[in-house]
Amino acid sequence: MHIKSIQLDGFKSYQKHTEIAPFSPQFNAITGYNGSGKSNVLDSICFLLGISKLDNIRAKSMNELISHGGSKAVVQIRFDNRDKKQSPFGMDHLDELVVQRHITALPTGKSCYTGYTLNGHSATTQRMIDFFRGVGLNVNNPHFLIMQGRITTVLNMKPEEILGMVEEAAGTKMYDQKRKEAEKTLFLKEAKLKEIDRIFEGSIDPRMEKFREDRKNMVEVTRLAKLKENSQRKLGAFEYHQSVELSKRDMEHMELVSNEVQELNQRIEQVVVEIGKKGDEQQNLIALRDNPAMETDLSLENKTKQEISLKLEQEKRGVEEGIVRLKSEIERTIRRIENDEKVLGSKQVELENIKNDKGEDIDSHEENKALITKLRGELEGMSRGTVTNDKGEHVSLETYIQETRAQAADLDTKVKTANNRRDRIQANLNRAMDKLASLASKSGTDQTALAELTKAVEKITQQVQSLGYNADEDVQRREREQEITDRIHQLKRVNDNILNNVCGGRYAMNFVDPPVPWFNYERDVEGLVLHLIRLKPQYKDYAMAVDVALSGAVCFFFHFKPAISI
């Protein structure tokens, strides 16, 4: 590999672009008049080879290599690479190599920027030094450039020094130096590795062991919590089922007792009619008692009538006692039904509370993995200031919070409206049931009113059914409401963390509620002025002007209570 041509532009005395070519493969000397630039050509070659001691090229700094009045110097050398025996490693397929080095003076005037290109591609300084050392061109070797007056010193060198020159010329010295550097780095890394092992053994390993034990305990606690939750749900469902079955049996028993009461009332009416008839017959017998001819017949007939009357009277008393007994039994049944309904209501409330408190049950480890993956994706989106809404769209954190708040408010309004209507209808139903229970204990004359109330109860029941109330859907709505509320709190915490970490917490809403009873944060505080201002896309360039005009007021809180300051 030998030089074919040299191009100089702005280097020392070569202020204009100059090309020196062609060079002979046996080139070993430069001749010319004094001051013609012979030494500058040699300096340009050393500069390209990456010389670090500038005294050897008669300069104190890189700025002195740039021609007077210029700001940049470029040196480019073309090498003939047709001799593959002396070709650099990895460059056998190229017949010509073009190496260029340039320096640019910085505006401060105290230093320069330098860079290399190899065949038109940028290269680092260390790579180019290794490139030239691979072919025996280590310009930083003390004996690479032998100046005048040092020839005798070279001739008197020791065998070890001559061997070093030979190794440098052969290109093996570079690998010895790299081996020493690698051994030094390996020694430092081994010391660092021992220090890391010591830290692991003394500090991290005990912590990891503790963390593993805590993880095991946490898994066991989670398993027991799920087992407890499932057991509570099963217990609540079992008690609810038992209460429903008991209520059904009591209702059937009450219906049977009501039928018996109706039958007894009908028998009472029949007995009363018969007693009336017997009374008329008794009056007739009394009127005919004074007739002597019929005295004997009348006495016999009267005796018969008295026996019949006594029998009817006994039967009447038995029927009345049965009615009293049935009425007391009805009252006991009604009280038991009321107690069962109260127990049923309490169990329903307890079941709903358990569902609302615990949320949805995670059935398997795969669902946990899916949930963790989803939450990680959402956390990454939150770190970028975006989240995914229910439609799968990526929106900003503030927009999603506003949408979620609106949905939560809408759901809360619907739930409250449905609960109010349900409570009113349930109250009407309870009053109707109370009236029905009270009427069930009355005589047969109130059966018409009982039928009307039964129709009213059926009508109210139909109205309840027409409302489309579904306990499962109500539980799902409550769980969805709780999920949205938890998500809002989570997003608020993430938003607060982001705001606290940006600009030293300048944009975070951190304040203490004033000690006044009529202050309500949700109602009275709108937020930071910064969060309430939106610039149109065409005015984004004026954001700095708006900030200056507000004079720092972008971090003030906006609220509707002028009597306080937060």
Instruction: Give me 85's structure tokens.
Output: 């025996």
**Average pLDDT, consecutive stretches of 10 residues, N- to C-terminus, the chain (566 residues):** 90 89 85 84 89 84 86 92 84 90 84 89 89 79 67 78 75 76 90 86 84 89 89 86 83 80 76 72 62 53 61 64 66 68 65 59 54 60 58 64 71 73 71 64 58 68 63 75 81 73 61 60 68 80 79 64 49
Distances (CA, A) of 421 to 142, 408, 415, 456, 461: 100, 20, 10, 18, 13
Per-residue 3-state assignment (H helix, E strand, C coil) for 27-76? CCCCCCCCCCCHHHHHHHHHHHHCCCCHHHHCCCCHHHHECCCCCEEEEE
Which pair of tokens denotes residue 276? 């009336």
Q: What is the pLDDT of residue 565?
A: 46
pLDDT score recorded for residue 5: 92
CB 91 within 8 A of CB 130: no
* Structure token digits, residue 499: 């705001």
Longest alpha-carbon distance in the chain: 193
Tell me the sheet residues that pair with 527: 558
Burial label for 49, CB within 10 Å (0-12, 13-18, 19+), is buried
Cβ neighbours around 383 below 10 Å, total: 11
Of 391, 386, 373, which Cα lies nearest the Cα of 494? 386
Q: What is the pLDDT of residues 45-84, one digit of tens each?
A: 989 988 888 888 888 888 888 988 888 999 999 999 888 8
pLDDT at 362: 43
59 in the Ramachandran plot: left (φ > 0), alpha (ψ -120 to 50) or beta?
beta
Q: What angle do CA 312, 318, 321 make, to 5 degrees?
A: 140
* Per-residue CA distances from 60 to 53, 148, 413 (Å): 9, 20, 82
Degrees, nearest 5: CA angle 87-88-92: 60
Angle between helices 471-501 and 397-440 (to 10 degrees): 150
> Over the stretch 283-340, which tens digit does the pLDDT of each residue have?
666 665 555 555 455 556 556 656 666 666 666 666 567 666 666 766 776 676 666 6
